[in-house]
Amino acid sequence: MATQVTNYQCPNCGGPLRFSSEKQVLVCDYCGSEFTPKQVEDFYAEKDAAASQALNELEQQLDTNPEEIKTEWEYSGSEWSENMRVYSCPSCGAQIMCDENTAATSCPYCGNPSIVAGNFSGGFKPDYCIPFKLDKDAAVRALKDYYKGKIFLPRAFTDENHIEEIKGVYVPFWLYDGDVDADVSYYATRSRSWMEGDYRVTRTDHYKLIRNGSVSFVRIPVDGSSKMPDDHMDAIEPFDYSELKPFSTAYMPGYLADKYDVDSKQSLPRATGRAQRSSLSAMTATTGGYDGVSVASSRFRLSNGRVRYAFLPVWVLSTKWKDQNYLFTMNGQTGKLIGNLPVSAGKFIGTFLGIAAAIFAVGYAVLTFM
């Protein structure tokens, strides 16, 4: 069983450090000291040397490439066969049992943030991460704002339901770069009509349109976690990549994190599908001026492909109402919150009838008095 669990302790008092999304530094809750991720990394560099050495040896045994994620949509990493792992908390010594993919968590006994260093090293080391910019309070406020203006939301839902769990999670994402070479042909028609006696004559000119071009994409994100719903992860896009930072475990304390369990090869079809559809749209946008345009044939070819591994910040909020779970997710960087709300059938029907009656009344008045 691996026991490579570490946590960052305050160099001043030994208390646990956590990453503050507001200040973008590591903060000690006991003595109030603040450290930048770089300061903490440097401080622990020497201390972690032995552990790093051990990890390097382990990676060599696993025959993984210690450098960055390979290009050409390839990613290689070792997969463990067992699902659960037991770690020893470096603060209190308690046994922590968690998922094999868990990379950052907190000790259920002493509450100190803990990092499973093995899940951040070697082939599992992310290239980038975007630190959390919004805290838990912002997520709660965003959820309450999300309820506003939802006229079909049952009143009891907002009154009775309580947030059961709020988690700040660094979700593993694959970021795909690449060019799509598109070769598309269309059938197009242009018609005009005129009257000849009792007959309406319509002349239709038929065209074949050829469009050949290429579209470059940068960092199409696809989440590499099977635990996170794909529709939620897609809907909270986009992230602001200008704030991407080289990965450091110093950003992790205080949040949860899992290493990827869907590899880049498995995620690739989702990225290529989106890229192809956008490429087709870009080609079709150049076919204006016709009455009708339909695709006759299309071919797409990927080139210059490259994939990067990144941890992106997501707040996960779950509520329960009438024995049904409702999940909401918020982009931890931009604050975009999404989720599906229950619809009150009574409110829906009442609103439908009310609007219909109002339109009917106005229409009736117009027809009567015009």
Partner 1 sequence: MKRAFCLLLAIVILAVPFVSVNAESEMSDYCVYDVSDVLETEAWGDMEERAMGLSLEYKCGVYVILLPGFEEYTHYDDDMNMAASDILSRNDLGYGADRDALLLLIDTSKQTSAYGATGPRGTALFNATALSEIDPSIASGTASGDLDAAISSFLDECARLFIYERDNGKAYGYTAEENDPEPVRDPDAMITDCVYDYAGILTADQKDQLEKKARYLSELYEFGVYIYVVNDYNDVYSSDDVWYACEHVYETQGFGYGSANRDGIMLFMSMDDRDFATYRTVGKGYYAFTDYGLYELEEYFLPDFRRNDWYGGFQDYLTYCDYLLDLAEKGTPLDYDPSGENDPTYPSGEDTPSKMTFQEKCIVLAPGSAIISLIICLIYRGKMKTAGIKTQANDYIAKNGIRMYDTRDIFTHSTTSRTRVHSESSSSGGHSSGGGHSFSSHSGSHGGGHSGKF
- 205 lines the binding site for partner 1 (CB under 8 A): yes
- 80 lines the binding site for partner 1 (CB under 8 A): no
Half-sphere CA count of 80, side-chain side, radius 13 A: 17
Alpha carbon of 173 to those of 129, 226, 323: distances in Å?
Answer: 9, 11, 31
Cβ proximity to partner 1, 40 vs 271, nearer residue:
271
- 301 lines the binding site for partner 1 (CB under 8 A): no
CB atoms within 10 A of CB 213: 13
Site string for partner 1, 109-148 (x = CB under 8 A): ----------------------------------------
From candidates 70, 133, 136, 150, binder to partner 1 by CB under 8 A: 150
Q: Which amino acid, residue 147?
A: Y
| Residue 298 CB, nearest approach to partner 1 (Å) | 14
Within residues 260-299, the interface with partner 1 by CB under 8 A covers 271, 273-275, 277-278, 281-282, 286
* Residues comprising the chain, all counted: 370
Burial letters 41-80, b for 16+ CB under 10 A, else e: bebbeeeeeeeeeebeebbeeeebeeeebeeebebebeee
| Residue 275 CB, nearest approach to partner 1 (Å) | 5
From candidates 70, 136, 167, 211, binder to partner 1 by CB under 8 A: 211
From candidates 52, 204, 226, 294, binder to partner 1 by CB under 8 A: 204
- 92 lines the binding site for partner 1 (CB under 8 A): no
Cβ proximity to partner 1, 6 vs 214, nearer residue:
214
DSSP H helices, 13-48, are 37-47
Tokens of 149: 């203006």
Total of chain residues touching partner 1, rule CB under 8 A: 71
Cβ proximity to partner 1, 95 vs 204, nearer residue:
204
From candidates 47, 144, 206, 301, binder to partner 1 by CB under 8 A: 206
Tokens of 213: 């071009």
DSSP H or E run through 364: helix 345-369
CA distance 302 to 181: 6
- 330 lines the binding site for partner 1 (CB under 8 A): no
Tokens of 278: 């956008």
- 237 lines the binding site for partner 1 (CB under 8 A): yes
Mapped onto helix, strand or coil, the DSSP state of residue 230 is helix
Cβ proximity to partner 1, 31 vs 201, nearer residue:
201
Tokens of 158: 């907002």
CA distance 204 to 333: 53
Within residues 332-351, the interface with partner 1 by CB under 8 A covers 338-343, 348, 351
Within residues 24-63, the interface with partner 1 by CB under 8 A covers none
